[in-house]
Structure 1
Amino acid sequence: MCPHAQSGAEAKPSAPESIVHEEKAQLDFSRSMSYGDYLQLDQVLSAQKPLSPAHDELLFIVQHQTSELWMKLMLHELRGAIRHIAADELAPAFKMLARVSKIMEQLVHAWDVLATMTPPEYTAMRPYLGASSGFQSYQYRCIEYSMGNKNPAMLKPHEHRPDLLAQVRASFDAPSLYDEALRLMARRGIAVPAEYLERDWTQPYVASPAVEAAWLEVYRNPQQHWDLYQLGEELTDLEDAFRLWRFRHVTTVERVIGFKRGTGGTGGVSYLRKMLDVVLFPEIWTLRTAL
């Protein structure tokens, strides 16, 4: 038979030709939404506007912008978890809290990239930062407040933006994640002091032997109180990750600027080191000694 002869109907395109034809159909996005459209990449990738001639300023900007994006997701998950705990819906709350812990792990590793900036490289761009500082992040402040670190002085940095102040104040005024956990325990029949169930939520949390006793009841009978026991461990994971995030922040700042004052007027490393002593869920940690 002639090698060019075809049997039956007209020959179909070869496999490579059909793939090329299919690819052409998928490469034309003139009439549909593209990847860049969906993610609004034009806006996102044009938001980096270095002010100095320093090569390393782009690293500094991207580091902080991506951190803010992760914090946006963190707040979304954290607020969702608080709502679910308040509604006695622990299964979705557990998933959300686990995701928050993973986001914090991501933020911990992000400091590794910023740590490649040396002191001379940072010094070259620092004058262009003005008084801008990470402690002015309204999203970070909402995270701190939602997790129970209620410091009214940290409302002030946001007073120049009433819209942002309203968001921060809403987190400041609301029960924290730990407050809602204790209220849940009380609804489940665990003896939690009444003054911890309805109080001024703007006041810093004060550790209590009675609250530790409540958690001990849960931890000594995990099978009987399995979901509360799991909640306790989710909170432990969360604070563990948060501590690592804070610690990595301190060491990175010390590596890059030493003990200079922060651009926002704080003590820099000395201020950040004080934050390492803040314990968000104290009885979750102290109960381990009593077990």
Structure 2
Amino acid sequence: MSSEKIVKEEGAQLDFSRDMSYSDYLHLDAVLNAQHPLSPDHNEMLFIVQHQTSELWMKLMLHELGAAVQCVSQDKLGSAFKMLARVSKIMEQLVHAWDVLATMTPPEYSAIRPYLSNSSGFQSWQYRCVEFMLGNKNAAMLKPHQHRPDLLERVEQAYRAPSLYDESLRLLARRGLPIPAAYVERDWTQPYVSSDEVEQAWLQVYRSPDANWDLYQLGEELTDLEDAFRLWRFRHVTTVERVIGFKRGTGGTSGVGYLRKMLDVVLFPEIWKLRTDL
């Protein structure tokens, strides 16, 4: 068949006037027209696209995390493992996204910073939901969302619900492992406090992986997830320091100082400690 005939035949299939097109399906008009730089600086487009795409990835992350927590609560670990593995891969994407923003130099950021007012990634309600679902509960982190009751309600829902780790421990208890009662039912809004008894339960799993294979795999999925989350946080810190140094953040935080403190937060402490004690 001649190339001319192939082009004609393919061309006959390219009339989307009556059908849903690629652009229609993805609502690309709305997505691609959602970038509205406020400064005259060329580099602001990078800053906007970086943060918008990160929010889209976080939307998918919340979709997967919420379903994974539900699956763990229902003993559907096969499905949960797939979702948690996907969340870890999303975090890898977000790590590499910082590589792009790191191409912005300090003078380039300084040119757009006055136009940002008090807006800051610190105010991302989706990121706050991710942290709450992973167990880093802090009532003070509700305050940045009080000006939007609709968003505050969604953040509070994540704040008041059992985290992924809470549901994992409840699963271990259902399987007969010695999880203390105070970790099966508690005030889920309180920060998680590590427990020697909880570590002993995980140690039983890790010392007999063949007999506890799905729980062992759950422990490793949680390890992968926190490993990816640490890398995401670390890359955030180094990028911010590279671009703005130790200036205060636009949202009022101490900037790099605050972000460095967050690096010390351990989400699943017993799973990390058991590696020393095995």
Could you say which TM-score interval applies, normalised by the shorter chain? over 0.9
In the TM superposition, residue 25 of structure 1 has moved relative to its aligned partner by 1.9
In the aligned structure 2, how far is the partner of 1:35 from the partner of 1:22?
20
The code of the aligned residue for 2:138 comes to N
The code of the aligned residue for 1:202 comes to T
Instruction: Indicate the residue corresponding to 1:11 in structure 2.
Output: none
In the alignment, does 2:152 pair up with 1:165? yes
In the TM superposition, residue 17 of structure 1 has moved relative to its aligned partner by 4.4
In the aligned structure 2, how far is the partner of 1:229 from the partner of 1:108?
27
Instruction: Indicate the residue corresponding to 1:7 in structure 2.
Output: none
Instruction: Indicate the residue corresponding to 2:277 in structure 1.
Output: 290
In the aligned structure 2, how far is the partner of 1:42 from the partner of 1:148?
37
Question: What's the Cα RMSD here?
Answer: 0.7
Instruction: Indicate the residue corresponding to 1:97 in structure 2.
Output: 84
In the aligned structure 2, how far is the partner of 1:25 from the partner of 1:236?
52
The code of the aligned residue for 2:73 comes to A
Q: Deviations over 1:212-269 (max 9, x none)?
A: 0000000000000000000000000000000000000000000000000000010000
Q: Residue 79 of structure 1 aligns to a residue in which SS?
A: helix
Q: Deviations over 1:83-126 (max 9, x none)?
A: 00000000000000000000000000000000000000000000
In the aligned structure 1, how far is the partner of 2:4 from the partner of 2:240?
56
Question: How many residues are paired up?
Answer: 278
Name the TM-score, length of structure 1 as normaliser: 0.95
In the aligned structure 1, how far is the partner of 2:26 from the partner of 2:50?
19
Instruction: Indicate the residue corresponding to 2:231 in structure 1.
Output: 244
* 1:48-87 pair list within 5 angstroms: 48-87=35-74
* 1:119-130 pair list within 5 angstroms: 119-130=106-117
In the aligned structure 1, how far is the partner of 2:49 from the partner of 2:235?
18
In the aligned structure 1, how far is the partner of 2:77 from the partner of 2:108?
47
Q: Residue 78 of structure 2 aligns to a residue in which SS?
A: helix
Instruction: Indicate the residue corresponding to 2:185 in structure 1.
Output: 198
Instruction: Indicate the residue corresponding to 2:176 in structure 1.
Output: 189
Instruction: Indicate the residue corresponding to 1:255 in structure 2.
Output: 242
Q: Residue 139 of structure 1 aligns to a residue in which SS?
A: helix
The code of the aligned residue for 2:32 comes to L
In the aligned structure 1, how far is the partner of 2:8 from the partner of 2:174?
63
**Identity fraction in percent:** 77
Q: Residue 13 of structure 2 aligns to a residue in which SS?
A: helix
Structure with max Cα Rg: 1
In the aligned structure 2, how far is the partner of 1:244 from the partner of 1:201?
26
1:156 to 140, 143, 147: 143
* 1:203-282 pair list within 5 angstroms: 203-282=190-269
The code of the aligned residue for 1:51 comes to L
Q: Residue 97 of structure 2 aligns to a residue in which SS?
A: helix
**Stretches of 4+ moved more than 4 A in 1?**
none
1:179 to 145, 166, 179: 166
In the TM superposition, residue 16 of structure 1 has moved relative to its aligned partner by 3.1
In the aligned structure 2, how far is the partner of 1:59 from the partner of 1:287?
42
The code of the aligned residue for 2:115 comes to Y
- Unaligned runs of 5+ residues in structure 1 are 1-13
In the TM superposition, residue 21 of structure 1 has moved relative to its aligned partner by 2.9
* 1:107-118 pair list within 5 angstroms: 107-118=94-105
In the aligned structure 2, how far is the partner of 1:20 from the partner of 1:101?
42
Instruction: Indicate the residue corresponding to 2:26 in structure 1.
Output: 39
In the alignment, does 2:125 pair up with 1:147? no
Instruction: Indicate the residue corresponding to 2:6 in structure 1.
Output: 19
In the aligned structure 1, how far is the partner of 2:154 from the partner of 2:5?
54
In the TM superposition, residue 75 of structure 1 has moved relative to its aligned partner by 0.4
Instruction: Indicate the residue corresponding to 1:133 in structure 2.
Output: 120
In the TM superposition, residue 154 of structure 1 has moved relative to its aligned partner by 0.5
The code of the aligned residue for 1:193 comes to P
Q: Deviations over 1:26-58 (max 9, x none)?
A: 211101111111110000000000000011000
- Unaligned runs of 5+ residues in structure 2 are none
